[in-house]
Structure 1
Amino acid sequence: MKEEFSSKETSKNLLSLDGNHPAGAGVHKSGVENHKKNRFFKLPKFETGLPARLLSLTVVFVLLAEFLIFLPSVSKFRNDWFDERVQAAEIAAIALEAAPNRQVSQGLSERLLFETQLLAVAMGDEDMWELVFSPQMPIDSIPVPMDLREERGWDSFFRTIEHATAKEGRILRILSSTDSGSDDKYIDIIVPEAALRSDLLEYAYNILLLSLLVSGLTGAFISWSLYRLVVKPMMRITNAVADFGEAPERLAAFKPSGRQDEIGKAENALIDMQSAVSNSFRQTKRLAELGEAVAKITHDLRNSLAVARLASDSLRRSEDPRVQSVAPRLERAIERAIGLAESTLLYGKSDTPKAKMASIEIRNIVEEAFLEGISAFAEIDWLNDVDEDISAYADPDMLHRLLSNLVRNAGQAISDHNIEAGLVRIAATVEKGWMHVIVEDNGPGVPVHVRDKLFLPFSISENKGGTGLGLAITRELALAMGGDVYLNHDYEHGAAFVVKLQRTDPNI
């Protein structure tokens, strides 16, 4: 059967014709439109631990990636769905051309329309329009036209969303090019949107199940890998930190895994931290015990020094010239010893000794520091290279103790290493408004590995019988006077310590 119409009357003819070859399909409803509706997924309850969070985040990210892939894939499914029906309609039209008298039986016509889910098929060009298969019954609703020849990528995407959200019962009129290669010819088909929506929902549901399966397997694998590689080692480190926090004075038995990555570095850092903190706690305990013992000894020593001071007063009244020359020096030494004992008691009471600052001449204090600090090393020469007119703003007793400690350490280092022609020299210079008193020797120098901890209490002492407190006390005395003491790293002929002092009273 063949009928000819003007192309302007195409839509009217498709709606009104009641042909002799019914499609037999009607508005095809496969029942899939209600397939899996109102489906709800009850998510399991996860704990809030790191492994559960990793699994959840991995699943979410994989689903997000699947969603970004799903949008263009469902648009392509919609286009392929239309292309399949256009090709089926064109094949049916070719079969009709080959049939006798260009007519097919009613049964074959119904079968072709049913299997392709079409309501009507027409072909034409700009001048002629031909109805190939007419609908079995009149179509009540006006078809929604969609010209696939003019659609672009985004148009297909938005059309797909429209198919999924449109009201029920819509009829679509699809215009598409034919495979003949002519731009003028087109094929015109009428399809129920319900069939497309049903197949779209089924496709989306299958993609959803596949995405959940892929995301679940991927999330489980990634979570298991992260748990084995990161979470479990970090939990081990966390537990070790928690155990160590309960008893920091006890070094916990934590063995590193031997890894060379960041986890291994964290394990090694934890071991170093535990060792440092444990040593610090032990040193603090030793300091407390030592402080208590020193306080008792100093209390008794102060009483003994009081008796010595009375004896020195008696010696001062002696007429012996040799006694009279030694008595003042002895008396000053006893006074400094008594002051040191009282300061030690105050330090044990957490009271910082206050410096008695004054403008003093340095040369005489350096002279007395040499006589006290290096007296036990008769074989070592010393040189007081400080000018007589050089003065500084400092506490004379604290400065004497400070320089005596440095001189004694220098003499001990030279004596321990049997340095021939040993020499300790003290000089003074003025740099940028500060007085620098330099104590240098020609001994073995300070090893590199102890320089960073040189002024820390109980640090490793290089001198035989050293306690590791001398330089810590020296630094404390310098800071109490508003100055500092440090090691000159550029000195190459032994060791050189620089005592930084104020030149004048900063309040004036």
Structure 2
Amino acid sequence: MDASPLHDGSAVPPDRPASAASLSSRLLLLTILFVMLAEILIYLPSMARFRISYLEARIELADQAALALLAAPNGMVSAELENELLRNVGGKLVAMRRQESNALILSDRQELPMLGKPVDLSKWMWWEAIVDAVVTLSGNADRYIRVVGPSPRDPQTRIELVLPTAPLAEALRDFSWRIFSLSLLISLVTAGLVYLSLQWLLVRPMQRLIGSIVGFRSAPEDARQIIRPSARRDELGLAERELRVMQQDLRHALTQRARLAQLGIAVSKISHDLRNMLASAQLVSDRLAASDDPTVRQVAPRLVSAVDRAIALCAQTLRYGKAEERAPEPEIIALRDFIEDVAAGLGLADDGGICWHNAVPEDLKLPADAEHLYRVLNNLMRNAIQAMPGNGDLRAAAAVSNGEVVIEIADTGSGLSETAKSHLFEPFRGGRNGGSGLGLAIARELVRAHGGELELVRTGPLGTTFRVRLPGIG
């Protein structure tokens, strides 16, 4: 056996997937991927917000620098103090504008390039902030940026400053690295917790189910391979309980099948030996039939009939117990002439008691295995003859309907009993007129092998009709 039994009745799968292809590994990777994706969606607005906060902080420092300029006599400061104020702000130019006064300006007196549209911190849009942050982080922004915003002290006062973008880009890179590190840590912790949870709740129970299935497949006769359901009340618990029921039913069916197979072999051997014995009895009964004793001559036909039925039963049992029928080898058959040959083989042309009617169209043809079809029709017509001892009408008809060839065999016998009807196509149970029922069972198997169906249309005191449906040409 490839699978080794465990204490709980399951077995380890012999061909476990590689670690990278296992369900657990895929769940872990997907969890990390999805958490990182969520962090990216969070990161972009966070980066834009960080950039706005950075610029607001510079506006506040610029406002403080402007206050220092206001406190100076005549609004004038030395070049050293002006450079120190600008260095503290981190900008190249600071301006404060009030409605009732002129602008106060701090500048490092360097010529600045042409500046683009200013960033107004009083009315910014989040998608514009995200785009500007990405452009700054990628290094494609201008060397300087002009920022306009209200003073933290007085909303009526506006502060303007010019900042180099290099320090802002560096700050964004530091912020991005911290966010990435934190996101990776959160992803790993989250993925680990999800992995352990799924491993405990789903993967291990599924591995147990798979182990039980593989072990049961390897040794269905071993009762230890039947899974022992856990006390779970969820879907997996239901799957375990249903799997146990299925395994028990299948084990019972396989055991019964094995016993029936052994019984069938024994019956076949008995039938074979019994047929040889009955052959000797048939010779004796034939000699008794030729006796001059009136009493013997009266009893002999019944004895001969009983021996013939016993031999036929043994022969049918042996045929049924053999391997399954070969696959059909269809050929085009002219049905009217074919049925006429079957009737001739049964002696209908020479039997004056039974009136034979062949109502099959002369041009009707169908694809079928000749040997199989002969056995089917021979069985149906022979049964019909036996149902009409002495005299009656036997009729064969056929037609094409919905791409099928429909053949009907009808007799005017006394019909089938209720027991025969309820077990009509069951071997050894559905026979008519004392038969074994093997003929109808075999006939139905042969018809179904062609993709058709054999069915009882009607039965009663006025007769019985069987219908054979077979696929037509094309």
Provide the TM-score with structure 2 as the length reference: 0.65
**Cross-structure match for 2:264:** 291
Indicate how the Cα distance of structure 1 residues 485 and 279 shifts in structure 2: closer, same or farther if over 3 A, else same.
farther
CA gap 1:480/1:67 in 2 versus in 1, 3 angstroms: closer
Q: Does 1:246 align with 2:218?
A: yes
Alignment-derived partner of residue 261 in structure 1: 234
1:71 aligns with 2:71: no
Query: How far apart are 1:82 and its partner, in Å?
Result: 1.2
Matching residue's letter, 1:205: W
> C-alpha separation between the residues in 2 aligned to 1:326 and 1:505?
45
Q: What residue is the counterpart of 2:467 in the other structure? A: 502
C-alpha separation between the residues in 2 aligned to 1:192 and 1:60?
36
8 Å CA contact 2:91–2:164 kept in 1: the answer is yes
Structure 2 residue runs of 5 or longer lacking an equivalent are: 1-17, 326-371, 398-405, 430-434, 448-452, 459-463
Partner of 2:129: 156
Write out aligned runs for 1:356-371 (5 A): 356-357=378-379, 359=381, 362=384, 364-365=386-387
Code of the residue aligned with 2:182 in structure 1: it is L
Q: 1:312 aligns with which of 275, 285, 306?
A: 285
Q: What is the aligned counterpart of 2:304 among 308, 321, 331? A: 331
Residue deviations 1:307-358 (CA, integer Å, cap 9, x gap): 2212222332345666545433432332222122223333444264944346
Q: For residues 270 and 305 of structure 1, what CA distance do their matches in structure 2 show? A: 50
Distance 1:46 1:106 in 2: 69
Tell me if 1:350 matches 2:323. yes
Q: 1: CA distance between counterparts of 2:107 and 2:392?
A: 126
Which amino acid in the other structure matches residue 440 of structure 1? E
Aligned 8 A contact 1:147 1:175 in 2: yes
1:327 & 1:504 partners in 2: Cα distance?
42
Contact in 1 for aligned 2:61/2:88 (Cα 8 Å): no
Is 2:183 aligned against 1:231?
Answer: no
Instruction: Kindly indicate whether the alpha-carbon contact (under 8 Å) linking 1:174 and 1:190 is maintained by their aligned counterparts in 2.
Output: yes
Task: Kindly report which structure 2 residues correspond to 1:163-242, keeping only aligned pairs within 5 A, or say none.
Answer: 163-166=136-139, 170-178=143-151, 180-182=154-156, 186-242=158-214
| 1:85-100 equivalence runs, <5 A | 85-100=58-73
Aligned residue number for residue 418 of structure 2: 440
- Do 1:392 and 1:504's aligned partners in 2 also have CA atoms closer than 8 Å? no
CA distance in 2, matches of 1:480, 1:331: 31
Name stretches of at least 5 consecutive residues in structure 1 with no aligned partner.
Answer: 1-44, 369-387, 395-430, 462-469, 489-498
Q: Check whether the contact 2:31–2:191 (CA below 8 A) recurs between aligned residues.
A: yes
Match of residue 74, structure 2, among 98, 101, 112: 101
- Provide the rounded CA distance (Å) in 2 between the counterparts of 1:66 and 1:361: 81
- Offset at residue 243 of structure 1 (A): 1.9
Structure 1 match to 2:12: none
Query: CA 1:69–1:473 in structure 2 vs 1: closer, same or farther (change >3 Å)?
Result: farther
Q: Matched residues in 2 for 1:362 and 1:261: separation?
A: 59
1 CA distance for matches of 2:86 and 2:436? 104
8 A Cα contact 1:177 1:186, kept in partner = yes
- Paired residues in the alignment total 376
Query: What residue is the counterpart of 1:479 in the other structure?
Result: 444
- Cα offset, 1:142, TM superposition: 4.6
Kindly tell me: are residues 64 and 341 of structure 1, through their superposed partners in 2, closer, same or farther at Cα, counting changes over 3 Å? Answer: same
Q: How far apart are 1:133 and its partner, in Å?
A: 1.6
Q: Give the match's secondary structure for 1:359.
A: helix
Task: Tell me, yes or no, if the aligned pair for 1:240 and 1:254 is still in contact at 8 Å.
Answer: yes
- Distance in 2 between the 1:177 and 1:472 partners? 103
Worse-superposed segment, 311-320 or 347-356: 347-356
Aligned residue identity for 1:476: A
Kept in 1, the 8 Å contact 2:271–2:318? The answer is yes
Asked if 2 retains the 8 angstrom alpha-carbon contact of 1:392 and 1:501, the reply is: no
> Would the alpha carbon gap of residues 62 and 476 (structure 1) be closer, same or farther in structure 2, given more than 3 Å must change?
same
RMSD of the TM alignment (CA)?
4.4
Structure-2 separation of matches of 1:298 and 1:480: 22
Name the TM-score, length of structure 1 as normaliser: 0.61
Distance 1:58 1:457, change over 3 A: farther
CA distance in 2 between partners of 1:366 and 1:234 (Å): 63
Indicate how the Cα distance of structure 1 residues 472 and 205 shifts in structure 2: closer, same or farther if over 3 A, else same: farther
Q: Deviations over 1:367-393 (max 9, x none)?
A: 89xxxxxxxxxxxxxxxxxxx746476
Counterpart code for 1:223: Y
Shift of 1:78: 0.9
AA aligned opposite 2:466? L
8 Å contact kept, 1:122–1:130: yes
SS of the residue 2:417 aligns to: strand
Letter paired with 2:165: E
SS in 2 for 1:67: helix
Secondary structure at the counterpart of residue 257 of structure 1: coil
Q: Residues 456 and 68 from structure 1, CA distance in 2 versus in 1: closer, same or farther, beyond 3 angstroms?
A: farther
User: Percent sequence identity over matched residues?
Assistant: 33
**Contact kept? 2:35, 2:187, Cα under 8 Å:** yes
Contact residue 380 and residue 409 of structure 2 kept, 8 A? no
CA distance in 2, matches of 1:205, 1:358: 88
Aligned with 1:249: secondary structure? Answer: coil
The CA deviation at 1:161 is 1.3
C-alpha separation in 1, matches of 2:82 and 2:440: 108
Q: Given the superposition, is the C-alpha separation of residues 156 and 61 from structure 1 closer, same or farther in structure 2, using an over 3 Å criterion?
A: same
Summarize the Cα distance change of 1:312–1:485 in structure 2 as closer, same or farther, 3 Å threshold: farther
Q: Sort the Cα spacing of 1:439 and 1:234 in 2 relative to 1 into closer, same or farther, 3 A.
A: same
- The separation in 2 between residues aligned to 1:212 and 1:506, in whole angstroms, is 66
- 1:50/1:231 contact within 8 Å kept: yes
